[in-house]
Amino acid sequence: MVGITAFGAYLPRMRLQKQVIADANAWFDPGLKGLAKGEKAICNWDEDTITMAVEAYQDCLGNAPGQAPAALLLASTTLPFADRQNSVVVAEALNLDTSDLRTMDITCSQRAATSGLLSALDIAAAGKEAVLVASEHRKAKCASREEMLYGDGAAAIAVGSENVIAELVASQSQAVDFIDHYRGEGQDFDYGWEERWVRDEGYMKIVPDAVNALLSKASVSAGDIAHFVLPTDQGRVPPMVAKKLGIKAEAVADNLLQSVGITGAAHVMLLLAHRLEQAVAGDLVLVAGFGQGCDVLLFKVTDAIAGKQAAGKGVSGHLSNGRPETNYNKYQSFNNLLEKELGKRSEVNKQGYLSAMYRARGLTNSFLGGKCTACDTVQMPKHKYCVNPECGAFDTQVDHPMAGAMGTIATWTADTLTFDYNPPAYFGMVTFEEGGRIMMDMSEVDAETFDTGSQVALHFRLKQIDDQAGFRKYFWKAIQV
């Protein structure tokens, strides 16, 4: 039996209220008011496709370092690096054993995630475990339909042949150069075609053809489908496709348009994870990924689904963990949609010294501390000498993963002079429950409740962005729990 063994997701805490976008731009396009219902998940300035992928994997399989899968696949059309394997950064941030790990970036289509999932299932069929992470952080032009509809998020699906919670019954792929939208090389924004044409010629013809071929192959009736996942920014399309196929209306998955927004290539996995939270043994789950053709996968939920949830919050948990954001200017600034005067203090040298970063990657990427084999003292960062004054042993430190550790704020400062994309800049001393302490930046601070003694968790985030060289530096930050 081959199929899904675990699932997880991540949604940024910030939820931009769509009404503020409409209020700012309705003078130019009154039609935006019709899309102003609800909210959408948006990245903080220090979040991107890589950081969200790390979060989604942890939500799927947990924070603690474990046995690495045979393969880690990252699907996205908004990868931060065009020529640096992004999935390797994710793997090191997760402190996976990379000595025998296949990594792959899958991109250039909105069905990148379903195509990646099919590849992961092929690996599982060979008797190995694989994880597909899909993550997306798309930009959209101001006052555009896409700005109202696009959201940010990520999801992770683990596959294998043991402890399967949703068995793969059959799959079908169809390649068609149907261009509903595109983004050319060097361009920041998608260029979309007319909605009705995309609906009638794309979704209503290509998807049914692929689904019918799959149902015929699997000898399954459309009426037996319990969950139908079809991501699209056209809210009426999934019910229309379902009706044409003979799938029950109640089987159609909520596209989360008013609570998350469309998270691009990640959305199909996000919706799949959401439906798995609701599924029971015996349910048939039909998943369709649309983009230059269609991938269709049919799963049957097994008895192992009972009591099985994401290792972390899951989609439902992240949906309830949002913080309303009404500052449209902040959203534009975080997404570089306007040129802002950042002040002289922002003009520091942000060059990435690649050799130094490589040597320090155990700390910067994986957040490894040290543990003394003589006295078991944990320290951050790892040094040659043990910091325990009663020990002081030399060269007894072994790597000790700290990324999943909980910490407490010992000291902190809110600095309005130091440059930060979201001032004031919070930083201070964090002490860890199992030992060790380190000065850290802090993110997503709630000024009303944050203080000395606040408990924090560690999250992989952007530390600096070198716009001139096009390079991004990552590190771990403390976030209040």
Q: How confident is the model at residue 363 (pLDDT cuts 50, 70, 90)?
A: very high
Residue where one domain finishes, among candidates 308, 334, 360: 334
pLDDT band (50, 70, 90) for residue 149? very high
Residues whose CB is less than 8 angstroms from the CB of residue 231 and which lie 6 or more positions away in sequence, other chains included: 110, 255, 262, 267, 268, 270, 271, 289, 290
Do both 121 and 224 map to the same domain? yes
Spatial separation of the C-alpha atoms in residues 338 and 384, rounded to whole Å:
47
pLDDT greater than 60 at residue 449:
yes
pLDDT given for residue 63 in this prediction: 66
CA angle 158, 163, 169 (to 5 degrees): 75
Tens of pLDDT, residue by residue over 84-123, are 999 999 999 999 999 999 999 999 999 999 999 999 999 9
Of the three residues 288, 315, 334, the one that is the final residue of a domain is 334
What residue type is assigned to position 62 of the chain? G
The string of pLDDT tens digits covering residues 278-332 is 999 999 999 999 999 999 999 999 999 987 766 789 999 999 999 999 999 999 9
Give the pTM.
0.95
CA distance linking residue 454 with residue 254, whole number of Å: 37
pLDDT of residue 352: 81
Length of the chain: 481
> Which of 207, 195, 217 minimizes the C-alpha distance to 294?
207
294 and 442 both lie in a single domain: no
Would residue 381 count as lying in a domain?
A: no
Whether 343 is in a domain gets the answer no
> Do both 80 and 183 map to the same domain?
yes
Judgement on whether residues 316 and 409 belong to the same structural domain of the protein: no
- Residue 154 falls inside a structural domain: yes
Same domain, 99 and 228: yes
Q: Which structural domain, as residue segments, surrounds residue 470?
A: 403-480
Q: Last residue of a domain, which of 280, 305, 334?
A: 334
The distance of Cα 432 from the centroid of its chain, to the nearest Å, equals 26
In a domain, 229, yes or no: yes
> What strands lie across the sheet with 368-372, from one edge to the other?
378-379, 368-372, 397-401
Q: Is residue 130 located within the same domain as residue 245?
A: yes
**CATH number, domain containing residue 18:** 3.40.47.10
* Structural domain includes residue 339: no
Residue 337, amino acid: L
46 & 138 share domain: yes
Residue 130 · residue 73 · CB < 8 Å: yes
* 93 lies in the same domain as 223: yes
Q: Are residues 304 and 422 in the same domain?
A: no
Q: What is the mean pLDDT of the chain?
A: 95
CATH of the domain at 475: 2.40.50
| pLDDT tens-digit series, residues 379-404 | 999 999 999 999 999 999 999 999 98
Indicate the number of domains in the chain.
2
Structure tokens at 193: 């075609």
Q: How far apart are CA 471 and CA 24, in angstroms?
A: 32
Is residue 16 assigned to a domain?
A: yes
**Beta carbons of 238 and 228 less than 8 angstroms apart:** yes
Q: What is the 3-state secondary structure (H, E, C) of the chain?
A: CCEEEEEEEECCCEEEEHHHHHHHHCCCCHHHHHHCCCEEECCCCCCCHHHHHHHHHHHHHCCCCCCCCCEEEEECCCCCCCCCCHHHHHHHHCCCCHHHCEEEEECCCCCHHHHHHHHHHHHHHCCCCEEEEEEECCCCCCCCHHHHHECCEEEEEEEECCCCCEEEEEEEEEECCCCCEECCCCCCCCEECCHHHHHHHHHHHHHHHHHHHHHHHHCCCHHHCCEEECCCCCCCHHHHHHHHHCCCHHHECCCCCCCCCECHHHHHHHHHHHHHHHCCCCCEEEEEEECCEEEEEEEEECHHHCCCCCCCCHHHHHHCCCEEECCHHHHHHHCCCCCCCCCHHHCCCCCCCHHHHHHCHHHHCCCEEEEECCCCCEECCCCCECCCCCCCCECCEEEEECCCCCEEEEEEEEECCCCCCCCCEEEEEEEECCCCEEEEEEECCCCCCCCCCCEEEEEEEEEEEECCCCEEEEEEEEEEC
Residues 199, 311, single domain; the answer is yes
The sign of the dihedral angle between the CA atoms of 172, 178, 183, 184 is positive
Q: Which amino acid is at 335?
A: N
Q: Say whether both 327 and 408 belong to one domain.
A: no
Mean pLDDT of 429-457: 95
320 & 462 share domain: no
What pLDDT, on a 0 to 100 scale, did the predictor assign at position 66?
58
* 416 in a structural domain: yes
- Would you say residue 365 lies in a domain? no
Question: Which tens digit of pLDDT belongs to each residue from 183-202?
Answer: 999 999 999 999 999 999 99
